[in-house]
A = this chain, B = another copy of it.
Amino acid sequence: MELLDGKKLSQEILSELKEKLADAKGPPPCVTFIRVGEDPASVYYVNSKQKKAALVGIESRLKTFPESITQEQLLEEIGSLNADSSVHGILVQAPLPSHMDERTVFNSVAPEKDVDGFSTNNLGRLVQEDPEAFVACTPAGIAEMIRRYKIKTEGRHVVVLGRSLIVGKPAALLFMRKDPFANATVTVCHSRTRNLSNITRQADILIAAIGQANFVTADMVSPGTIVVDVGINRVDDPSSKKGYRIVGDVDFDAVAPKCDAISPVPGGVGLMTVAMLMHNTMKAWELSQKKNH
């Protein structure tokens, strides 16, 4: 059983980006984060993304707004970032206050700066297999993990557990692309699926993105499967200082011995997500340079 080491891979990706940028002339890529309100998780996430950006040599800026900002004002702010040629990527940190419509706000980011890949346009371009599309960082991180571990996907059966807009669906679309690193037969399962374990047992590659702790049990996985665990779930753990620990969607201890390879939680896909955000920012920068020449 091989461990799909997200820590190692993400460091590899970040080092490559850093190296690429070391030789770059002119102003570096710049990503601007937008945070509305002071949700502690959002503060933490944006902060850790900014640290990674600094590590790589990507400039990052942070714009914070009070929860009281109207959607109209926020859209105006995004509009001026869209128009600002020194900004290559824009990321609006979710969740937004309840008086806003997240889709409208995400869609207001110019497609070529939408490094989070959440806009209608980038989802559509993913369906169209447009190589310039920005793919949401988590599914992009899964695909990159599979690719870097040289796991063959062509003609193999990828089973995706979960049909969310930010993981399940884009992951399914990624693996069915006409591309040597994709070309997989793809099945999307979810809460309504009947005979679920009958399907998951057929997976060559199983992607668990259902958001339930230890949902995937040993009987659901055939020997030799590749398992990618996307879940990040808190479970009570009185023995830990915080009183909880983070587990994935896969019952790791029981499932891992049956796998050819498996990504752990933590230390797996989660770290890939941030690395792919930097990758996407780099891509936005490169595309903007291409268009200006």
Contacts and interface: CB of A to CB of B under 8 A. Distances in A.
B193 A189 contact: no
Interface residues of A, number: 36
A165 B178 CA distance: 11
Contacts of A199: 157, 185
A59 to B, nearest CB: 29
A156 B194 contact: yes
A53 interface: no
Contact of A155 (B123, B127, B165, B194): B194
Interface string A107-145: 000000000000111111111101000000000000000
A154 interface: yes
A188 interface: yes
B183 A192 contact: yes
Interface of A: 103, 119-128, 130, 154-157, 163, 165, 169-170, 172-173, 176, 178, 183-190, 192-194, 199
Q: Which 3 pairs, one residue from A and one from B, show the smallest C-beta to C-beta distance? A: A124-B124, A120-B124, A123-B124
Contacts of A163: 176, 178
Contacts of A178: 163
Nearest to A183: B192
A120 to B, nearest CB: 4
A193 B188 contact: no
